[in-house]
Amino acid sequence: MGAPRIGVLAVQGDVREHVAVLTALGVEVVAVRRPEQVERIDGLVLPGGESTVMDKLVRAFGLQEPLRSAIRQGLPAFGSCAGMIMLADRISDGAPGQQTLGGLDITVRRNAFGRQVDSFETQLHFAGLDRPVHAVFIRAPWVEQVGDGVEVLATVGEGPAAGRIVAVRQGGLLATSFHPEVSTDRRIHAEFVKIVSSQG
């Protein structure tokens, strides 16, 4: 089997950063903007951005049902920040009418760490990786509740939010509150590529 073909949802958010990391990892990357593209990818990345805007654009572009269906049928997906919200089954403080694609049996809280001015960086222990991850949090969500089948991969180690869940995995679905695409550390993306390749 050749390199997997991974789509990056390209309606809003930091699409270019994810594309750059995946390309550097030798993956064939597709910028997903049309429903028919969903059938031709082996995995999907949902970037950071603004979850309410992303939700509206996904519906406007006719992508909501194809993406929901693909995820239900086992398409591996990785969401960072707003992407985590898009993959969550439940939002504790969603905007009126806000919807998600779902798939992850988690409850998230939007902007849980505060506004843009409250953005921060920290080192996180990430399950399965041999050394800490440099994590960048920008208006980030956190996970308030996980279902039985969800593995917690990382929690915040210190500060007012110590103990808060910021990375999870459930089968082929991976999500982080932070933005690994804006750091030079490609290991989380590499883990996702492994997930996609193993399900190919």
HEC assignment per residue over 4-39: CEEEEECCCCCHHHHHHHHHHCCCEEEEECCHHHHC
Cα separation of 26 and 189, whole Å?
11
Cα separation of 148 and 146, whole Å?
7
Asked about 181 being catalytic, the answer comes back as yes
Asked about 144 being catalytic, the answer comes back as no
Asked about 151 being catalytic, the answer comes back as no
- Whether the CB-CB separation of 155 and 166 falls below 8 Å is answered with yes
Q: Residue 166, SS3?
A: strand
Task: Write down the catalytic residue from 17, 18, 81, 189.
Answer: 81
What are the beta bridge partners of residue 146? 106
Task: Write down the catalytic residue from 18, 65, 158, 181.
Answer: 181
- Whether the CB-CB separation of 77 and 174 falls below 8 Å is answered with yes
Residue 160's CB: how many other CB atoms inside 10 A? 8
For the chain, the C-alpha Rg in angstroms (whole number) is 15
Give catalytic residue positions: 81, 179, 181
